């Protein structure tokens, strides 16, 4: 369960956004619009078009691979490969005068297929699971056939996620925690699950766009913070307008995405008599987002992140003998989003 949940929650790349920074410096401005047909690539307005009563279906597929290798007198390796597929049905309940929408989100189906250290795992939400399987796949069991609400602006900014109580109650019930969990713990679980699972999934479907018209080669940054080991990491996702593709009567804006990081924190740490040295974290990412300007929806996206962390470990073993080891963690996540109808 630990590995499954870890991978599920790491599938947030190119999603969360806490701040925005335009990235069009003066020295680059002369190359932004040269040779561009302004009727197609100038003054692009990236706005979502919500219609009350509209029903939208997306498939979100996350492909994850994680390996951890420990080198000492011998080598120990753990490896996880997993594919998670969500079918998400959206209903636009209301659209206000500012063109912001209230949307109901239904997790219509969830499928998991993976291998953990050579052992195959599988999950399909359409089947009734045993008590043990419900515990193992608690995150997905709590989501299946459940609805929650979101409020979203015309530019794709998700301002709130609500009505998640039934999901949290199901998660608590699966783990038999009804009599053990306090109100404060339940609220903390609700907030953590909303921000670590529901929001990242939702932001795969609704990317936040600039509040002004853009053009070819226009770029902007979205930043969010995370923590890994002893490091505070600032994730910087850069989006850049590419071309406009014509498909039948639709106008598709191609947006290139990239990921870089800034980090700070202590590279040396001690815990329970062991010493750790964390090497510089290595994180990268790239991908493409396609926005259908005609329908005002993302038609598909494909983004990938890579992370590598190397750690030196030293201390004494259970026989009080000194030991040294090196641990290498490598993670790759690919998120594929497809508009079904």
For the chain, the structural domain boundaries read 2-339
Where on the phi/psi map is residue 216: left (φ > 0), alpha (ψ -120 to 50), or beta?
beta
- The pLDDT assigned to 104 comes to 97
Measured distance between the N- and C-terminal CA atoms of the chain, rounded to whole angstroms:
33
- Residue predicted with more confidence, 271 or 159: 159
Eight-class DSSP state of 129: P
The whole-number average pLDDT for the span 313-333 is 91
The whole-number average pLDDT for the span 283-312 is 95
The whole-number average pLDDT for the span 295-305 is 96
pLDDT tens for residues 260-273?
999 999 999 998 88
**Alpha helices for 62-159 (secondary structure H):** 131-136, 138-143
Q: Is the dihedral of CA 5, 8, 13, 17 positive or negative?
A: negative
- Average pLDDT value over all residues in the chain: 86
197 vs 105: CA distance, rounded Å: 13
pLDDT higher than 60, residue 5:
no
Neighbour count for residue 289 (Cβ, 10 Å): 22
- The pLDDT assigned to 90 comes to 98
Q: Residue 23 — pLDDT band, cuts 50, 70, 90?
A: very low
Planar angle of CA 303, 305, 309, nearest 5 degrees: 175
Q: What percent of the chain has pLDDT over 90?
A: 72
- The pLDDT assigned to 178 comes to 86
pLDDT higher than 70, residue 134:
yes
- The pLDDT assigned to 42 comes to 65
pLDDT tens for residues 60-92?
999 999 999 999 877 889 999 999 999 999 999
Q: Give CA separation, 32 vs 26, 38, 255, 257, 258, in Å.
A: 11, 12, 15, 17, 18
| pTM listed for this prediction | 0.83
The whole-number average pLDDT for the span 106-129 is 94
Q: What percent of the chain has pLDDT over 70?
A: 88
- The pLDDT assigned to 340 comes to 95
pLDDT higher than 90, residue 248:
no
- The pLDDT assigned to 41 comes to 58
The whole-number average pLDDT for the span 282-309 is 95
Assess contact for 142 and 167: CB atoms under 8 A: yes
pLDDT higher than 60, residue 13:
no
Rounded to an integer, what is the distance from CA 216 to the centroid of its chain?
Answer: 26
């Amino acid at each position: 369960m630990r590995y499954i949940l870890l991978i599920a929650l790491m599938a947030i790349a190119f999603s969360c956004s806490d701040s925005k920074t335009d990235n069009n410096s003066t020295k680059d401005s002369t190359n932004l619009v040269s040779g561009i047909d302004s009727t197609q690539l100038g003054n692009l307005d990236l706005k979502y078009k919500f219609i009350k009563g509209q029903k939208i279906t997306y498939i979100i597929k996350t492909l994850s691979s994680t390996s951890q290798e420990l080198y000492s007198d011998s080598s120990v390796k753990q490896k996880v490969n997993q594919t998670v597929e969500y079918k998400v049905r959206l209903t636009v309940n209301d659209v206000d005068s500012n063109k912001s929408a209230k949307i109901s989100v239904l997790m219509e189906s969830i499928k998991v297929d993976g291998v953990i250290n050579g052992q195959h795992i599988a999950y399909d939400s359409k089947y009734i699971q045993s008590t043990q399987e419900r515990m193992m796949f608690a995150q997905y069991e709590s989501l299946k056939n459940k609805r929650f609400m979101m409020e979203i602006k015309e530019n794709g900014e998700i301002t709130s996620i609500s009505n998640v109580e039934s999901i949290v109650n199901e998660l608590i019930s699966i783990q038999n925690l009804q009599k053990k969990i306090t109100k404060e713990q339940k609220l903390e679980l609700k907030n953590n699950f909303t921000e670590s699972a529901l929001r990242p999934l939702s932001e795969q479907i609704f990317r936040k766009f600039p509040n002004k018209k853009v053009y070819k080669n226009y770029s902007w940054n979205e930043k969010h913070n995370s923590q890994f080991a002893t490091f505070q990491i600032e994730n910087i996702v850069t989006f850049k307008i590419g071309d406009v593709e014509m498909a039948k009567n639709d106008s598709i804006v191609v947006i290139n995405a990239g990921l870089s990081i800034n980090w700070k924190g202590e590279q040396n740490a001690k815990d329970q008599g062991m010493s750790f040295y964390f090497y510089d974290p290595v994180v990268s990412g790239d991908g493409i987002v396609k926005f259908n300007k005609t329908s005002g929806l993302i038609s598909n996206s494909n983004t990938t992140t890579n992370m590598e962390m190397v750690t030196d470990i030293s201390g004494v073993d259970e026989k009080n003998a000194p030991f040294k080891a090196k641990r290498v963690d490598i993670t790759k996540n690919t998120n594929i989003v497809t508009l079904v109808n």
